[in-house]
Amino acid sequence: MGRRDKSRRDLSRAMDWCGKDLSTAEEIVDALRSRYGKYKRMSRQALVLNVRNVLDARNNNKKRVKEDEEDDDSDEGAGGGKMKKQRRLDEQSHVERRNKEKSVSSSSSSSEDSGGHISTSEDAKVSPRIDLTSDCLRGSYAKMNSSTKLAPPKQRRQGAGGGKMKKQRRLDVKEKSVSSSSSSSSEDSGGHISKLAPPGKVGPTFKDFGGIKKVLDELDQYILSPLLNPPLFGKIGAKPPSGILFHGPPGCGKTRLANAVANEAGVPFYQISATQLLSGVSGASEENIRRLFSKAYRTAPSIVFIDEIDAIGSKRENQQRETEKRIVTQLLTCMDGPPPGGGEDTTAAAGYVVVIGATNTPDALDPALRRGRRFGREIALTPPDVHARAEILSLVAQRLRLEGSFDMKRIARLTPGFVGADLEELADMAASLCVKRIMDSRKLQLSGDSDDGDDRSWLRQPWSDEDLDKLFVTMSDFEDAVKLVKGSLTREGFSTVPDVSWDDVGGLGHLRSELNNYIVRPIKYPDMYEKFGKTLETGFLLYGPPGCGKTLVAKAVANEAGANFIHIKGPELLNKYVGESERAIRTLFQRARTSSPCVIFFDEVDALTGRRGREGDHLVVGGLLNQFLTELHGGDRRDVYVIGATNRLDVIDPAFLRPGRFGNLVYVPLPNADDRVSILKSIANKRPLDPSVDLDAIANKYCEGFSGADLANLMDKAIHVAVKEKFQSIESSEDGDMDFSDCTIKMTHFKQALSSVTPSVSKQQIKHYEEQRKKFQSSTGRNNMDKINVGPSFAHE
């Protein structure tokens, strides 16, 4: 209804401007279409209908006024009728005078704001467009300008001292007027287009950030210095930076840092999300951008912060709609400064409007945005390392009630892949665990010996001061919270750290020692290795017969190190589309680097590292291998440990086997007698074995040539035999009841299982693997590799 009334008022006003000599609706329509482009674009039939409605409404108003006058004359006599008629005339003249003043003020302010530009289009002949937001803003500035012009005479009468006080008061009123007009325009526009930070608002400052000292120094130089000391750049004839781009993963503090910059500078701050600028009406998005920058230039020096700027500033060549391209072009134009001819004040303030953008994908932005004088400065907020996480935890812990000693570095080492938002969530989780600990003890006191588990009356009991004084967060609360909170950077593409420990791995003691020296200790004690200039080999290749525990060893290493773990199963990175396999490898190592320390385990790595130049290979396979080689050695591999496992060493490209890539080659042979006993005991650790079972005799007498997988299969077969025997005894009993007593695995079950289990690796295959190992060592000259070989039976003779 409001839009319809507005259109009718515009049409009525345009009809008045056409002249009073037009009598019929057709004549008025012809005049309107000849003078105004707005009505020329409308259909003639619809316009004629609207004009007739306006004429009918006017005639009805005239009749109503005439009837009211006749009623007044008949009811109240001559005196009363004249008074009412005069009152109506006064009210009508007052309304007309007020509308006229408002129209003059709006048009004069509009001419000033437009920078002196005169429109020559046909639409310019129409009455000024009624925009509540623009009218409120222009009216506020018109009043401000009028009050400023009347102030000087009062200054002269009050003398020097009073003049200074009046001048200061007038400046304060001007600043408040600008703030109120900007905020009101944002509310009246039907959406939160911009936000002007109120003076004195408590918010984040640079003291609330940890681990980004270098970034804060850059902000002092590029933003705070030009804003707080404008003459610096003008003295040397240079322009201050006009744009800063914050980019980095989510949760690193881009938005919070922009608010801290505004609080440190103490200037008007316009914060907006890029999606708030978009509109479904053609041209409205560009108008929102112009309005935002117009406010910023009027209140300069100021800061404009556009969050998620990639929503409106993405590459134009990738956009399909012309509207999206116009939005990017409008943003580029506004960042270059105010339109020419905007007056001396506007031009002077252009260099003091700083535009800050924030995005997670800087590569998606249009190249024109990332040049000088626009977003010429780019600041990367990378995921915090262990030292930065320790500083952030110290700041976050300041708002908590702590008890006991805290080792923030230890918690920082336990939280790889955590960003600032995750560390705050970690502190909240630790506080929740603290509350839960006190609530559990309080529940025992209030509920007593009640067996009703659904009774929650104790929750309604008020907390005493003594109970509240017990609320302290301890180091154990943080350690428990680490197990419950998952880092943002490890939510995609990372595997759960396996629950396999070295107790589940039988034998392989020498391999455990080597992996502990090269992987586990550098992760747990990085400071010690940094003192020696850590340049240790970070690539391991486990090879040998299948079923010897290569995958189990890699999982145990990841569990003991406590690092992030990525498990790649064979050829899962391969893709039928050209270039997608290489992208998958790049993404894999990029995730590992951002969440270091990290262990990457390639199971069946021969599927990705086959020899190049074989007959039938495609060029795509060569590109995949080259990308893999580059990431293994050419890229930044700091704190990224790579473990590969294969039983086909002969098909792997030799380039992968040199130092710096899979430099440590470890042969994992079949277990000997002692290792078989250890493996059987680790497998039977959680099984109900009968005391009469002799695992040493089973491993030494009956399991010659068995691998670890064969021994696990033997245990499963023995369990099946025991369960089958139990069901047979139940079926043969008279009552047929289930008897769960004496559910154990006996020696007879193992003997029956041995009849159906044979070694999975034949003697011929064992001989092949041994010859392959010796041949590889002699061809590469790595005679010292016997020191890393696992198992007493394959020790160097």
Q: Which pLDDT tens digit goes with each residue over 585-599?
A: 888 888 888 888 888
Is the pLDDT assigned to residue 89 strictly greater than 90? Answer: no
Instruction: Identify the pLDDT of residue 436.
Output: 87
For 441-462, what is the mean pLDDT? 68
Percent of the chain with pLDDT over 70: 73
Q: Indicate the pLDDT class of residue 401, thresholds 50, 70 and 90.
A: confident
Of the spans 305-314, 453-462, 770-779, 786-795, which averages the highest pLDDT?
Answer: 305-314
> Which CATH number, 3.40.50.300, 3.40.1190.20, 1.10.3720.10, 3.30.365.10, labels domain 206-337+351-380?
3.40.50.300
Instruction: Identify the pLDDT of residue 68.
Output: 66
CA distance 512 to 518: 10
- Please state, in angstroms and as integers, the Cα–Cα distance from residue 692 to each residue in 244, 695, 698, 749, following that order: 76, 10, 12, 12
For 39-48, what is the mean pLDDT? 79
For 30-35, what is the mean pLDDT? 79
CA distance 185 to 136: 7
Q: Where are the domains of the chain?
A: 1-64, 206-337+351-380, 386-443+462-492, 494-666, 673-731+743-760
Q: Which pLDDT tens digit goes with each residue over 201-239?
A: 468 889 889 889 999 999 998 888 888 887 888 788 888
Backbone torsion region of residue 266, taken as left when φ is above 0, otherwise alpha when ψ lies between -120 and 50, otherwise beta: left
Is the pLDDT assigned to residue 794 strictly greater than 80? Answer: no
For 733-748, what is the mean pLDDT? 73
Q: Which CATH architecture has domain 673-731+743-760?
A: Orthogonal Bundle (1.10)
Instruction: Identify the pLDDT of residue 556.
Output: 86
For 274-285, what is the mean pLDDT? 85
CATH number of 494-666: 3.40.50.300
Q: Which amino acid does the sequence have at 31? A: A
Instruction: Identify the pLDDT of residue 246.
Output: 93
Q: Does domain 386-443+462-492 have CATH number 1.10.8.60?
A: yes
Q: Would you call 416 helix, strand, or coil by DSSP?
A: coil
Is the pLDDT assigned to residue 102 strictly greater than 60? Answer: no
How many residues does this entry show for the chain?
Answer: 797
Backbone torsion region of residue 441, taken as left when φ is above 0, otherwise alpha when ψ lies between -120 and 50, otherwise beta: alpha
Cα–Cα–Cα angle for 523, 526, 531, nearest 5°?
150
Q: Indicate the pLDDT class of residue 412, thresholds 50, 70 and 90.
A: confident
Looking at residue 385, what DSSP letter applies? -
Is the pLDDT assigned to residue 315 strictly greater than 60? Answer: yes
Looking at residue 669, what DSSP letter applies? -
Instruction: Identify the pLDDT of residue 91.
Output: 52
CB 181 within 8 A of CB 141: yes
Q: Give the CA dihedral 274, 280, 281, 287, nearest 10 degrees.
A: 0
For 724-745, what is the mean pLDDT? 74
- Please state, in angstroms and as integers, the Cα–Cα distance from residue 71 to each residue in 1, 59, 66, 67, 80, following that order: 32, 18, 9, 6, 11
Least confident residue range of 304-308, 396-400, 678-682 = 678-682
Q: Which pLDDT tens digit goes with each residue over 358-386?
A: 998 888 898 998 888 888 889 999 888 88
For 132-160, what is the mean pLDDT? 43
Q: Residue 576 class from Cβ within 10 Å (0-12 exposed, 13-18 middle, 19+ buried)?
A: exposed
* pLDDT top residue among 118 and 713: 713
Is the pLDDT assigned to residue 284 strictly greater than 70? Answer: yes
Is the pLDDT assigned to residue 183 strictly greater than 70? Answer: no
| Fold match flag (206-337+351-380 vs 673-731+743-760) | no
Is the pLDDT assigned to residue 787 strictly greater than 60? Answer: no
Instruction: Identify the pLDDT of residue 98.
Output: 52
Of 643, 634, 604, 413, nearest to 518 by C-alpha is 643
For 551-562, what is the mean pLDDT? 84
* pLDDT top residue among 759 and 536: 759
Instruction: Identify the pLDDT of residue 615.
Output: 55
Percent of the chain with pLDDT over 90: 5
* pLDDT top residue among 281 and 448: 281
CA distance 691 to 175: 89
Q: Which pLDDT tens digit goes with each residue over 596-613?
A: 888 888 988 888 888 776
Concatenated DSSP letters of 766-787: HHHHHHHHHHHHHHHT-GGGGG
Is the pLDDT assigned to residue 723 strictly greater than 90? Answer: no
Instruction: Identify the pLDDT of residue 516.
Output: 85
Instruction: Identify the pLDDT of residue 784.
Output: 43
Q: Give the CA dihedral 80, 81, 85, 88, nearest 10 degrees.
A: 60
Q: Residue written as tokens 């270059």?
A: 336
Q: Indicate the pLDDT class of residue 127, thresholds 50, 70 and 90.
A: very low
Is the pLDDT assigned to residue 429 strictly greater than 60? Answer: yes
Is the pLDDT assigned to residue 529 strictly greater than 60? Answer: yes
For 377-402, what is the mean pLDDT? 88
Least confident residue range of 299-313, 336-350, 502-516, 678-692 = 336-350
Of 619, 626, 638, 627, nearest to 586 by C-alpha is 627
Instruction: Identify the pLDDT of residue 113.
Output: 43
Is the pLDDT assigned to residue 344 strictly greater than 50? Answer: no
CB 601 within 8 A of CB 542: no
Instruction: Identify the pLDDT of residue 90.
Output: 57
Instruction: Identify the pLDDT of residue 714.
Output: 86
Is the pLDDT assigned to residue 437 strictly greater than 50? Answer: yes
User: Cis ω on the peptide bond leading into residue 597 (within 30° of 0)?
Assistant: yes
Q: Would you call 141 helix, strand, or coil by DSSP?
A: helix
Concatenated DSSP letters of 279-348: -SSTTHHHHHHHHHHHHHHHT-SEEEEEETGGGTSB-GGG--SHHHHHHHHHHHHHHT-SPTTS-HHHHH
Q: Which pLDDT tens digit goes with each residue over 289-312?
A: 999 998 888 888 889 999 999 888
For 180-191, what is the mean pLDDT? 39
